[in-house]
């Protein structure tokens, strides 16, 4: 929130994928508390889905174009 209020262009442009990565990480950790059966090692299906969400967000952040700060009047 603080970065958005300070008009950080990188956070504003990539905010969705940053939140998506945070959600995937949080969900991955919470799934250890849930009583679901394991699928691969200690991980359940929902662990794997959370990992997929984090990988997707990381790929989108890594391939995002560089944010260039333009002056408001330069774009007009």
- Reply yes or no on whether the pLDDT at 30 is more than 60: yes
The token pair at 26 is 């949080």
Domain carrying residue 52: 15-62
User: Considering its fold, how many domains does the chain have in total?
Assistant: 1
β-bridge mates for residue 40, sequence order: 43
Between 48 and 10, residue with greater pLDDT: 48
Residue 38 falls inside a structural domain: yes
Chain mean pLDDT for the chain: 85
- Could you tell me which of 56, 29, 22, 54 has the C-alpha nearest to residue 44? 29
Residue 50 falls inside a structural domain: yes
- HSE value, Cβ hemisphere, 13 Å, CA-based, for 3: 9
State the pTM of this model. 0.75
Residue 34 falls inside a structural domain: yes
Contact between 24 and 50 under an 8 Å Cβ cutoff? The reply is yes
The token pair at 62 is 């890594």
């Amino acid at each position: 929130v603080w970065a958005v209020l300070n008009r950080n262009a990188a956070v504003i442009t990539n905010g969705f994928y940053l939140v998506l990565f945070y959600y995937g990480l949080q969900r991955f950790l919470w799934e250890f508390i849930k009583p679901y059966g394991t699928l691969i090692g200690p991980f359940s299906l929902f662990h794997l889905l959370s990992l997929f969400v984090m990988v997707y967000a990381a790929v989108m952040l890594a391939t995002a174009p560089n944010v260039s700060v333009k002056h408001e009047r330069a774009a007009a």
